[in-house]
């Protein structure tokens, strides 16, 4: 079959490039190329999901499967954009903690337990709960929070799907890791809260550090998973989630180092543990 030439070739290419699908495919190909010791057992793309409780559905860009872990990946091409994460003095230390989702099916009574717990996860990074975004396609301050909220709802949905799909499923325990991979440049804005003026709200001085990835951690969901919440403080903690934000040029660094500490005490009780 011959190549079809068109005078509108450039216009067609612009239409294709506007979709961002190629970026998603490039990320998927990069994940497939990782070394075997840090690679994945299987990689899925465009996986449909439905969160019945929230009455919302969609497609997950990429699910990377390794052992019990499900890395739920959203690819976000953000043209000429900078995502600036705020780091007051007390947050200017890297951490290995991440609040991740988990699910467990008790095969004796078919009960499914789910929740979120702090796990040890490397590589280490800064953690921030505020992000300022400026760019051509994302200039709303709540943009990242909305994106993270949908990503978390999607990972909760696939946990339910996999654990209820079949009694013959390969695993009865799952850890989910939400990840956003973006072309945006990521910066940590380091400052002292004492340098912020109460008169106009401006920061008198700050240092900026370009970072390859960062943990975005805050209350990112609307409802508690557990019914026995006893206080507003407990409710606030219950709604906290960690989402990893990774610059696309740092994929290899992050994914060649990633590791979850499976030796820690798990949040459910069963005889043999992990």
Instruction: Give the global pTM.
Output: 0.88
Our measurement of the distance from residue 78's CA atom to the centroid of its chain's CA atoms, rounded to an integer in Å, reads 16
Tokens of 37: 């010791």
Encode the chain (274 residues) as per-residue pLDDT tens digits.
555 555 567 787 878 877 778 999 999 999 988 865 667 889 999 999 998 877 899 999 999 998 889 999 999 998 888 999 999 988 889 999 999 999 888 877 778 888 898 999 999 999 999 999 875 455 455 889 999 999 999 999 999 898 887 655 667 888 999 999 999 999 999 999 989 989 898 888 899 999 999 999 998 887 766 667 778 888 888 889 999 999 999 999 999 889 887 666 666 554 444 3
The DSSP letter of residue 266 is: P
Task: Please tell me the distance from the alpha carbon of residue 148 to that of residue 207, in angstroms, as a whole number.
Answer: 26
Task: Please tell me the distance from the alpha carbon of residue 241 to that of residue 258, in angstroms, as a whole number.
Answer: 18
Domain segments of the chain as ranges: 42-260
Number of neighbours of residue 93 by Cβ within 10 angstroms:
10
**End-to-end alpha-carbon separation of the chain, Å?**
54
């Amino acid at each position: 079959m011959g190549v079809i030439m068109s005078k509108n070739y450039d216009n067609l290419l612009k239409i294709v490039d506007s979709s961002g699908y190629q970026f998603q495919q490039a990320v998927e190909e990069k994940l497939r190329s990782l070394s075997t010791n840090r690679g994945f057992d299987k990689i899925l793309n465009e996986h449909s999901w439905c969160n019945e409780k929230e009455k919302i559905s969609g497609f997950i860009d990429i699910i990377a499967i390794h052992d019990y872990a499900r890395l739920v990946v959203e690819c976000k091409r953000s043209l000429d954009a900078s995502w600036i994460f705020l780091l007051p003095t007390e947050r200017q230390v890297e951490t290995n903690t991440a609040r991740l989702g988990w699910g467990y099916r008790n095969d004796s009574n078919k009960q499914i337990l789910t929740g979120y717990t702090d796990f040890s996860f490397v590589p280490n990074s800064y953690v921030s709960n505020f992000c300022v975004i400026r760019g051509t396609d994302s200039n709303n301050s709540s943009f990242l929070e909305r994106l993270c909220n949908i990503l978390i709802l999607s990972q909760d949905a696939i946990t339910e799907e996999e654990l209820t799909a079949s009694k013959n499923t390969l695993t009865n325990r799952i850890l989910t890791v939400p990840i956003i991979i973006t072309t945006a440049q990521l910066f940590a804005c380091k400052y002292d809260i004492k340098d912020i003026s109460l008169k106009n709200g401006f920061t008198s001085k700050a240092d900026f550090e370009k970072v390859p990835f960062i943990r975005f951690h805050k209350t990112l969901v609307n409802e508690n998973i557990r019914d026995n919440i006893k206080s507003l403080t407990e409710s606030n903690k219950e709604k906290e989630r960690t989402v990893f934000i990774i610059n696309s040029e740092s994929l290899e660094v992050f994914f060649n180092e990633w590791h979850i500490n499976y030796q820690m005490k798990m949040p459910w009780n069963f005889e043999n543990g992990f």
